[in-house]
Homo-oligomer: A and B are copies of this chain.
Amino acid sequence: MKYGIVAFPSKKLQDLANTYRKRYDPHFALITPHMTLKDSFDASDDDIKKIVQQLDELTSKHAPLKIHASRISSFFPATNAIYFRIELTEQLALFHKEISEKIPFGSEKHTYVPHITIAQKMTDSEHDDIFAQLRMIGVDEQDIIDRIHLVYQLEDGSWTTYETFRLTGAE
C-alpha cells in the first residue's frame, strides 16, 4: 500500500490554499491542503507497525512546529507546481531529517523544500501567467503544526488518514 506523511495546517491556512487550489490544482479533490513531510512510499502491513512505533517515539520528543508561509514560489522548471513557501527553520529541518532517518522507505528525491502546493499540472504558459499573478499577491501566514498524519492512498488517487500523531515533546 502507498503511504505518505503530511501535516495539515490550520483551517485558516487550508481555506486560503483552497481558494487557489480549486482553480489551479487538479489534485484538489484527492487530499486537503498539506505540507508533505515524507513523499509517498510503499510499505507492507508489518512495515507500517514499525513506522507507527517510530512516529510515536519521534512525535513524543518534538514540540509543535512554528511555521511561516512567507511567499509564493514555483518549482519551475523541475515541475510547474506553485506553492506557499514554508521557511525552513532549524526546528523543521531537524524534524524532517529525523523522519527521513527513522523511516528509511522510499527515496529522498531532492533537497527538502517545505511547501503547501496551491497550483500544478499547468502548461508552461499558464504557469507563467498564474505565477506572475500569485507572486504579486503573496502570502504571509504564521501557523502552528501540533500534529502530523500518516496517510494512505486509495486506487482512485485520494488519500485517507491512517493515524494522527500529536507533537507533545519539548525539542
Interface residues of A (CB under 8 A from B): 1, 8, 11, 14-15, 18, 22, 28-29, 32, 147, 149, 152, 154-156, 158-164, 166
Contact = CB atoms under 8 A, between A and B. Distances in A.
Contacts of A15: 154-156
Given A29-B29, A32-B159, A11 B164 contact: no
Number of copies of this protein chain within its complex:
2
Question: Which label, helix, strand, loop or mixed, suits the secondary structure of the A interface?
Answer: mixed
B18 A156 contact: yes
Contacts of A154: 11, 14-15, 18, 32
Nearest to A21: B156
Contacts of A1: 11
A156 to B, nearest CB: 5
